[in-house]
Homo-oligomer: A and B are copies of this chain.
Amino acid sequence: MQVLDRIESFNKFIDFEIESFNKSLLHKKPINLYAPIKYTLELGGKRLRPLLALLSCDLFDGSIQDVLKPALGLEIFHNFTLLHDDIMDKAPLRRNQPTVHKKWNTDIAILSGDTMFVQSFQYVMQSPEFCLKEVLEIFTKTAIEVCEGQQMDMDFETQSQVSIAQYIKMIELKTSVLLAGSAKIGAVVSGARPEDAQHIYEFGKNLGIAFQLQDDILDVFGSKNLVGKQTGGDIVSNKKTYLLLKTLNIADRYKKEELELWMHTKQVDPNLKIEAVKAIYEYFDVKNLAREELLGFYNKSLAHLEKIPCNKAKKEALTAFTQNLMDREN
């Protein structure tokens, strides 16, 4: 099978699983609990986590059939975290549509999120018997780390000093361990050797950090329609992204004061603020500095993939996936 055909057919498998899941929700009651779950999954998304699980399982010659349900569980889990994060971030939109807490209310968003969390477990535990315990250990460890990352992210909001190292740790927990865990679960389900499962975990982890740094860049320098949310949102909300932290690190006193003035001025036209902060970012070329950092993680990721002895064509599918991810504009 050609590399892209492979990815495409895996995506079809995943879409089918998600559609079946959504159909199963149609007649469930109470409606106020299940309609928001269906709505959330129908908002779409790149389905990166299940795809990674399938590609990883396939890399080690595992059966795709065995990994489909846990992969669906990983996608439901990811969407659950988005749902609860959107409440905490007070986000009005997700993929150009109202968030659940806006369309319904916060209580419903909390509770339908909790329900998705249980459902994600119900699918992850449909892993083959021989690796059930190990898969559940990876999954629960990952889930705890995602919560820790989200809490660090919230703590940063009121913290005056955040180092680049702390920031990288936060995005590792909040974003990349789930990609890593998805890849590792795919490997474990396939019966891969522990050292290879670890390589694919590290591959996913480093890729995830690169992916999040890319997100930081796209939020400022991406184009609105493609990203599916307002560009510059991170600037408006003074979010401590890599770009902001790096700029605060390298800026001279005057530029730093200018930046902080924009950050602390309330009731300012958001577009003015975005343009001004963007100009400071461009002045210090932090977009490229971020890209350099990103490339470091990206290369580390590929180095781990290289170390896995396996079918070349299958590895190419994962490399293509990675490439796609890094070339994306949204």
- Given A111-B147, A144-B118 in contact, is the A30-B125 Cβ separation under 8 Å? no
Q: Does A236 contact B (CB under 8 A)?
A: no
Cβ of B30 and Cβ of A152 under 8 Å apart?
yes
A114 to B77, CA, bound (A): 12
- Given A110-B110, A111-B88, A154-B32 in contact, is the A121-B147 Cβ separation under 8 Å? no
- Over the window 110-146 of chain A, the binary record of Cβ atoms lying under 8 Å from chain B Cβ atoms (1 yes, 0 no) is 1111110111011001000100110011001001100
Cβ of B133 and Cβ of A129 under 8 Å apart?
yes
- Residues of B near A140 (CB, < 8 A) are 118, 121-122, 125
- Residues of B near A112 (CB, < 8 A) are 147
Which residues in window 262-292 of A have CB below 8 A to B? Answer: none
Cβ of A133 and Cβ of B144 under 8 Å apart?
no
Cβ of A115 and Cβ of B144 under 8 Å apart?
yes
In the complex, residue of chain B having the shortest beta-carbon distance to the beta carbon of A147 = B115
Which of B84, B115, B121 is in CB contact (< 8 Å) with A121? B121
Cβ of A143 and Cβ of B129 under 8 Å apart?
no
Cβ of B133 and Cβ of A118 under 8 Å apart?
no
A132 to B125, CA, bound (A): 10
Which residues in window 85-111 of A have CB below 8 A to B? Answer: 87-88, 106-108, 110-111
Cβ of A32 and Cβ of B151 under 8 Å apart?
yes
- Given A110-B84, A111-B84 in contact, is the A33-B148 Cβ separation under 8 Å? yes
A32 to B110, CA, bound (A): 19
Q: Smallest CB–CB gap between A103 and chain B, Å?
A: 16
Q: Does A11 contact B (CB under 8 A)?
A: no
- Residues of B near A133 (CB, < 8 A) are 125, 129, 132
Q: Does A150 contact B (CB under 8 A)?
A: yes
A133 to B132, CA, bound (A): 9
Cβ of A117 and Cβ of B115 under 8 Å apart?
no
Cβ of B88 and Cβ of A147 under 8 Å apart?
no
- Residues of B near A155 (CB, < 8 A) are 30, 32
A87 to B140, CA, bound (A): 24
Which of B32, B148, B154 is in CB contact (< 8 Å) with A107? B154
A155 to B148, CA, bound (A): 32
Q: Smallest CB–CB gap between A68 and chain B, Å?
A: 18
- Residues of B near A137 (CB, < 8 A) are 125
Q: Which of A106, A113, A133, A148 has the most CB of B within 10 A?
A: A148
Which residues in window 29-75 of A have CB below 8 A to B? Answer: 29-30, 32-33
16 A-B pairs with CB atoms under 8 Å apart are A30-B151, A30-B152, A33-B147, A84-B114, A87-B107, A87-B110, A88-B111, A110-B110, A113-B114, A114-B117, A115-B147, A115-B148, A118-B143, A121-B140, A125-B133, A125-B140
A residues sitting closer than 8 Å to B (CB atoms) are: 29-30, 32-33, 84, 87-88, 106-108, 110-115, 117-119, 121-122, 125, 129, 132-133, 136-137, 140, 143-144, 147-148, 150-152, 154-155
